[in-house]
A and B are shown apart, each in its own frame.
Chain A
Amino acid sequence: AGAVEQWFSWWLADWRMQVALTDVTQGLAAVNLAGPRAREIMGRLTDLDCSNEAFTYLDAKRAPVAGVPALLLRIGFVGEVGYEIHFPAAHGQHVWDAILEAGAEHGIRPFGLEPQRILRLQKMHILVGQDTDSESTPYGAAMPWIVKLDKDEDFIGKWALEHAAEHPSETALVGFTLPDGDVPTEGAAVLDSRGEPIGQVTSARHSRQLGQVIGMAWVPADMATDGAAITISDESRRLRAEVLTKPFYDPDGEVLRS
């Protein structure tokens, strides 16, 4: 949030637009309710129509939740049907308790950062700054769908993105699996046949749900094909991994959009 506020403040100062900017980050608490029963539990907390037809994936709504005014975002960072619920911070305990009560018969449980990290990795949802750096582009990160160059209006980064679209990325962010249970260190090098570093691991975890080690790495673009073999150097170990270009779980997003 701090970085975003800095960017906005810089742009406003530079362009001298008649815009007031107020940081309300601390004013809102947020809960992510996700999983196969998320919609059913939401239905107990709000009068909002949460059917897939009325509240589609990536839509946003404003409605009371447990009697508290809220901004609802239907997004799925962890790969399941999910809702990010943003509401005044003073009601944190009230909303938390209401959600746990509403989901009690389904065995609802809070989940922390580590399961979230594994679940998002299963979907190959990137963490900006971990899976990307200042040299990364949406094209190299296999996210060309996020760029809307057909917008009539100019936007920040448009020129750079147009340039990137015309010059294919030399590297690509891919997924990989490891057959033998070793979890490589994040930052470990990907090697070519001569043992020279050609890329690096950005994320890696063992997924209990999938029963294997999964990860993401930047590799030369010509290695970004399903089944391609890559070698990861992790301290004294040489690990053989196999490239996957689509998410490990729900590769076509059917669960997310259900």
Chain B
Amino acid sequence: MSFEFLRPSAEAVARSPMEAQALAAGAQMELRDGWNVAVAYPGAPPAGPAWVDSSHLSKLEVAGAHQLTFGMASRIDGAWWCPVTRDRTLVIGGARDVAVDHIEVTTALAALTIVGPLAREVFARFCAVDLRPQAMPVGGFRPASVARTPGYVVREGSDRFLMLFGWALGEYMWTVVADAAESLGGGPVGIDALDREVARA
């Protein structure tokens, strides 16, 4: 059976479940690769931790045995290959077409990237996962309870974490992260700011 109906189409605008909140925060939106994404916000970047709506990232679930190391995500061709179980891998980002059988879960999981020196502090306010470098180094991957819902966390950089959670919980999760981050002087930033950070690194 074809599962084509799971896959977002380039023929129609795709939107994050957190778009309304991004707009309320003053987001400047642009259409990129079929997705209406928040590329920037007015004013200076926040002094504290920042969060970015990364829900447009492709996500695929690959079934079958693998050689990946549990607890770590592997960076392959621009994508994170994350071993969830012995025979299930979550592939985040990168090209949409992978040369193995997979299930499209791009719109089953929304995503927020949390960055900045206080990023761990933000997580600590709604997630019990040990994100200290000795427990979760760069590339670390954890299926976890995030704000009391099933999710995943990838440590993409020393101060950068990618968090995935159920698509239907987008509004809730934005509220949780905003509540946690704003008290630390944080705020949302657009994906262009994230790309600039990657370029600097």
Contacts and interface: CB of A to CB of B under 8 A. Distances in A.
A23 B167 CA distance: 12
A67 B106 contact: no
Residue with the greatest number of chain B CB neighbours at <10 A, chosen from A24, A66, A94? A24
Contact of A26 (B5, B88, B103, B108): B108
Contacts of B7: 69, 88
Contact of B6 (A24, A64, A67): A24
Interface string B53-88: 001000001010000000000000000000000011
Interface in A61-95: 62, 64, 66-71, 86-95
Interface residues of A, number: 26
Given A24-B105, A64-B9, A90 B4 contact: no
B134 interface: no
A27 interface: yes
Interface string B1-33: 010111111011111110000000000000000
A166 B149 CA distance: 45
Given A20-B63, A22-B61, A69 B9 contact: yes
Given A26-B167, A90-B35, A91-B14, A69 B5 contact: yes
A91 B104 CA distance: 15
Nearest to B9: A68
Nearest to B11: A67
Interface string B82-121: 0000011000000000000001111111000000000000
B107 A90 contact: yes
Nearest to A87: B5
Interface in B31-48: 35
Contacts of B169: 26
A88 B9 contact: yes
A62 B9 contact: no
A62 B16 contact: no
A76 B194 CA distance: 47
A67 B88 contact: no
B168 interface: yes
A86 B2 CA distance: 14
Contact of B4 (A20, A22, A23, A62): A62
B2 A88 contact: no
Contacts of A183: none
A41 to B, nearest CB: 17
A67 B108 contact: no
Contacts of A23: 108
B5 A70 contact: yes
Which of B16, B88, B108, B166 has most chain A Cβ within 10 Å?
Answer: B108
A28 interface: yes
Contacts of B61: 22
A148 B126 CA distance: 49
Contacts of A62: 2, 4-5
A20 B167 contact: no
A28 B6 contact: yes
A10 B12 CA distance: 38
B6 A88 contact: yes
A20 B15 CA distance: 29
A68 B87 CA distance: 31
B106 A88 contact: yes
Contacts of A88: 5-9, 14, 106-107
Nearest to A24: B108
A135 to B, nearest CB: 33
B167 A64 contact: no
Contacts of A93: 13, 15
A136 B88 CA distance: 38
B103 A68 contact: no
B8 A90 contact: yes
Given A20-B87, A27-B104, A88-B8, 6 more contacts: A26-B108, A62-B2, A68-B9, A69-B5, A89-B107, A89-B167
12 contacts: A26-B107, A27-B105, A27-B107, A27-B108, A28-B5, A62-B4, A64-B9, A64-B11, A67-B9, A88-B6, A92-B15, A94-B12
Interface of A: 20, 22-28, 62, 64, 66-71, 86-95
